[in-house]
Every structure is written in structure tokens, then in C-alpha cells.
Amino acid sequence: MSERSTTADRVTAIDPSTTASRSTPVDETTACPLCAYTADSRKDVYTHLLTGHRKSAISDLLLESRSAETTR
């Protein structure tokens, strides 16, 4: 699968292991929180999120992270 794949090419489920499975450390601002995509700039990751993932997947991740923060 290429880095520029679309939602039709990937599963939209959130896989929390993707950030842990990266072979090299990356700045969290240049890594997609939903998949293993990394880029050189936040703008590239933002564009990737807009074009590469469904709104529902992004919303689910946001709501999960918010609920995790409130249970700490």
C-alpha cells in the first residue's frame, strides 16, 4: 500500500499499535494518529487526514482520547 492510499485502500478501524510499531521515532506532529503515514510537515499530515481517512474514524479517535483524559 502506498503512503498516498485512499480510504478505499485501507481499513478505517483505528489501530493503536501503528504508532508503537514504527521503526524510527517520529515527531508526533508529523505522524498520522490513525495509521503509519509520516510526512515532513504538519500540513502534509493534515492533508493526509482530510483525504485519507473518514470523518468517523477521526471523530472516534478524538472522542476516545478525550474520554481517556477524563478518566485519568
**CA atoms 53, 9, 35, 15: torsion sign:** positive
| Res 70: pLDDT | 84
> Mean pLDDT, 10 residues at a time, over the chain (72 residues)?
50 49 59 92 94 94 88 76
Residue that has been written with the C-alpha cell 479517535 in this structure: 61
- 20 falls within a domain: yes
pTM of the predicted protein model: 0.54
Number of helices and strands (H, E) in the chain?
3, 0
Q: 27: which 3 cell numbers?
A: 515527531
Domain containing residue 33: 14-70
Q: How far is the first Cα of the chain from the last one, in angstroms, to the nearest whole number?
A: 37
Q: 15: which 3 cell numbers?
A: 489501530
Residues with Cβ < 8 Å from 1, sequence gap 6 or more?
Answer: 9, 10
- 1 falls within a domain: no
- 9 falls within a domain: no
- 61 falls within a domain: yes
How many domains are contained in the chain?
A: 1
- 7 falls within a domain: no
- 2 falls within a domain: no
